[in-house]
Structure 1
């Protein structure tokens, strides 16, 4: 009976999976609430790419599934309440009156003239909410400081909205605020629903814009910015500059009704604006003066990096690797061994977080869980798929007579360098025929050419004994096509039978690669072994777990894994060929990073610890010196 008791206990403890809406509805619920993937990911404790995978049709499991189902059910309930909420009598008329008052306030503020005098108006409108409206005009001081309009506050009823937010006017313009919580919450009125990207978030309190320094109510990819280009302006130079124009006369305070009478000062606004923008001429390229957008301050250059369509200071980019190392050392009170062990254990999720950060503002979205053909699927739980990665395992069969000093060279950062390869962006598509499209990448079924140089160089397809067609990756095919061209002429071109490819780019992981490379270079320069081991674990585990692995469920791209590995093997083959062309004698090539040569290798390869540089792994002697000839015998006759 104990066996049946155990079964009963197992059945009693089994939980039924929480049902989830269809994939299309999941994204729709999030977008209708005006939430970004990053916001949802933070609330659920996962990465934005994971949320994207769920919205594409992948189902979470365990506690993550329960949390996601709870969020989706709450989102559906909130939207239903918003749609079915009762409307109070007279609320529609009140809303229309408030909207008209806001429009009049905006029109009046455009007539107010000065170096920043504004009037702002805001209304809070929502289903079942009483609306409040308020206006406030601020008078500029002698330096022309802009005023800020402050909206009134509506009293919330049963609706979801009711709080008005103020518009901030600059240089004589004002903008009416929109009700918080109602349709269109979390964005300015000029931005439609579909125009707000996933990485735009609403700030609880205004923060300085990273581009102009003025208060901004939104952040893009974690950086406060204005969504409307008209609001984002170059700040005025300090009043102490010689070219600063005299401040315009103060503008009288606007009446409490929120209207301002246009006067003669309205016609002087363009001149005042031009004077405010005046600054000393600054030398530009070739000694020419810089234009109005040139630098306004002296000092060293500011390093910038792309951020979507704009630029941001490189110092504003978060150093996720440095922060993680510092935090680990602090937790372990400076114990480097314990901190390194913790960071290596966290390498996979930290690498995925770094990938998400470096992909912000990228031209292409990373498809984390695409459909894959059977050739990329394992045939059994412990078996392999059909892809041949062309891993080299080659040794020269004979050496010239005599003793030879062999140097085993280790190529640094082989996988890190291999991240720069042509990777398919979307879902792989099937094709047949002999043509190769260099704009696409994937896996190919080919008949490889005959290799007749095995005595001097390794076979580009690796050590393969079975003849006939085989599935190879994009780097292997490109290497074979390269070697069959007129520059090398080492083999015939391969015969392509069929392919699974997608549109490709060589720079899909470039920012991710550069971030890891820069951290590695800094660690070497500072003799920081903790960061060095952490970075090595990040890129090596990132490559090895992006296939069918239980350790990384955020990215399922076995095609990428095969391509990156094959690129490392192709890079090693090219180093062997470079050594051969320079007069060295390659004697062994193994794995991704080991090359044995005879000769003065320092004339060919740079020695060091940097990426693509080499270091000595071992030295050994092969062969024996010819015995010296015996001296003639001068004995007595």
Structure 2
């Protein structure tokens, strides 16, 4: 392509954007057409949560905008045409002569009725004349072809004043459309989009499709599934959010503290990631067990997440009904010899921005049950009304799929599920891989919850008589002692498994060196 061709392409791309109707009209058109968000989203190549945003106030851009405008314009035209047709039919009186002629022409061979005008109905519909079920439709109207069948029973015909036989036979009636087969509200046969029976089916369908696509090659199927883990996780999220009380707001306003100053920089939120090793061990050599915490990020999806746009507040009070990020001065931690600092290893003193899980851990440890530190000082906060169950159905669907895969020895599904929840969390911030959900506050909160969960397991080990040797990241806890008295062993998210064992310490003095 020459330089001029490239310029022409740019010029072709520059032009007036497709016009979109107001947000409430967009939703109204979809609902009048009886289309679900999932159906429209699939046709447009986006997620239902993105479509929700377009129906709530955000506007798409580029090719997505053109496609959406085309769809809305088509729906508007089709619905307008349908409305006009119904109005014309309502205005046309069902004259007795015309109705009688229709029946006569359908049943009389002398009338020269074209066989193509008689439509056999798979499901009987009420006759336009008598209201009883008819199995044929003539010229668009359900009718009996045999006049002897075209009579109402005493139960179906309400009592009325006597009238001339001809008037009774040809009195117009309102015809109620038949209910769908299968009961009230059942989908019509031949529906273009069939909804899956449950969120967990989406995971199994994706795995089966990948295996079929790659002729049973597990390695190739795994590579394909990992590439699709993020959009499939978003699809699962949308499926689990159906009928939910709160909508997931994809791109709300966020404060500057949650924005990266540069593409490679970091925002101002401190996640309290533990990276701690006990400064000294009791004398002697010790058998250390490195425990692996199963599904750390999966468990962390159960955390208090802000539902809407973050709002600024100042003061020392903490409202447990809200969640967000907080500027605090952390308390002095005096137990580093036996337990890691709940805010992680921080070199600089003074205030710092922490997430909801970190603040709640500090408040809990300062309470009457533990009394391990003073309460943190809260200077200001960005919070919103919160719930701990916003992602609960999403978490349960992934957990169930994970448990089923482990029970069946299905490592392919297990790795796929792990990729779904880990990448879902890691791409909520500024990521080129997930532009449907931009919630850096959620990303920090979920990750901090994973760190907080590991810290609470370290506290449980300490209170259970174990010697805590090391705590790292979200899933690594090293202990000395009979850890099975404290933690159940297994691969469930409520259990731990052995990652490694080694010997540490010396025979005469404390140490932290490892001897394999």
Taking structure 1 as the reference length, the TM-score comes to 0.64
Q: What is the Cα deviation at residue 502 of structure 1?
A: 1.6
Looking at secondary structure, tell me which structure has more helix per residue: 2
Residue 6 of structure 1 and its aligned partner are, at CA, apart by 7.3
* Greater displacement, 28-37 / 351-360: 28-37
User: Structure 1 93/444 Cα, relative in aligned 2: closer, same or farther at 3 Å?
Assistant: same
| TM-aligned CA deviation for residue 514 of structure 1 | 0.9
The residue that corresponds to 1:513 in the other structure is: 395
Deviation sequence 1:47-66 (CA, Å, 0-9, x none): 22121122233333443222
User: SS state of the match for residue 336, structure 2?
Assistant: coil
Instruction: Quote how far apart the aligned CAs of 1:464 are.
Output: 1.1
Q: Does 1:433 align with 2:323?
A: no
Match of 1:206 among 157, 163, 180: 180
Which deviations, in whole Å up to 9, do the C-alpha atoms of 1:2-44 show, x marking residues without a partner?
9964774564454436334244443344345454323322332
1:529 Cα deviation from its structure 2 partner: 0.6
Distance 1:626 1:8, change over 3 A: closer
Is the aligned partner of 1:614 residue 2:490? no
Structure 1 pair 6/464, CA: closer, same or farther in 2 (3 Å)?
Answer: farther
Q: CA deviation at 1:78?
A: 4.3
Equivalent residue pairs, number: 452
Matched residue, 1:133: 128
Task: State the distance in 1 between where 2:392 and 2:451 align.
Answer: 19
Q: Secondary structure at the match of 2:360?
A: helix
Corresponding residue for residue 69 of structure 1: 69
> Aligned residue for 2:53?
53
1:40–1:619: structure 2 CA closer, same or farther, 3 Å change rule?
A: same
TM-score with structure 2 length normalisation?
0.78
Gaps of 5+ in 1: 98-119, 123-131, 138-147, 156-161, 165-171, 180-187, 189-204, 209-213, 225-313, 628-637
* Distance (Å, rounded) in 1 between the aligned partners of 2:50 and 2:62: 14
Matched, 1:349 2:231: yes
Deviation at 1:592, TM superposition (A): 0.6
SS of corresponding position for 1:206? coil
Aligned residue in 1 for 2:421: 539
Indicate if the aligned counterparts of 2:277 and 2:470 stay in contact, CA closer than 8 A. yes
User: In structure 1, what is the Cα distance between the partners aligned to 2:93 and 2:468?
Assistant: 85
In the alignment, the residues of structure 1 paired with residue 285 and residue 481 of structure 2 have an alpha-carbon distance, to the nearest angstrom, of: 12
The one of 215, 221, 240 aligned to 1:339: 221
Deviations 1:200-240 (A, max 9, x none): xxxxx9342xxxxx464448xx9x9xxxxxxxxxxxxxxxx
Q: CA RMSD in A?
A: 3.5
CA shift in 2, pair 1:527/1:121, >3 Å: closer
Q: Is the Cα–Cα contact under 8 Å of residues 327 and 380 in structure 2 kept in the other structure? A: yes
2:471 is aligned with 1:594:
no
Instruction: Report the equivalent of 2:102.
Output: none
Shift of residue 364, structure 1, vs aligned partner? 2.2
> Superposed, which structure 2 residues align to 1:17-416 within 5 Å?
18-21=17-20, 22-78=22-78, 92=91, 94=93, 133-137=128-132, 155=140, 206-208=180-182, 214=183, 216-218=185-187, 319-416=201-298
SS of 2:180 mapped into structure 1:
strand
Within 1, Cα distance between the matches of 2:393 and 2:302? 10
Q: Which moved more, 1:48-57 or 1:466-475?
A: 48-57
Deviation of the 1:564 alpha carbon: 0.7
Task: Determine the C-alpha separation between the residues in 2 that align with 1:149 and 1:176.
Answer: 15
Q: Which residue, out of 498, 501, 525, partners 2:407?
A: 525
Contact 1:135 1:149 in 2 (8 A): no
2:342–2:455 Cα contact (<8 Å) kept: yes
CA contact (8 A) 2:312 2:381 kept: yes
CA distance in 1, matches of 2:243, 2:482: 46
Q: 1:23 to 1:408 in 2, by over 3 A?
A: same
> 1:620: Cα distance to partner?
2.1
2:333 matched residue in structure 1: 451
- CA distance 1:3–1:413, shift in 2 (3 Å): same
Alpha-carbon distance between aligned partners in 1 of 2:129 and 2:236, rounded to the nearest angstrom:
45
Equivalent residue of 2:469, what SS? strand
Structure 2 residues not aligned, in runs of 5+? 97-123, 144-154, 158-172, 510-516
Q: Relative to 1, partners in 2 of residues 1:342 and 1:317: Cα closer, same or farther, differing over 3 Å?
A: closer
Structure 2 residue aligned with 1:495: 377
Contact (CA 8 Å) 1:151, 1:177: kept in 2 or not?
no
Give the direction of change, closer, same or farther, for the CA distance of 1:87–1:406 in structure 2 (3 Å limit): closer
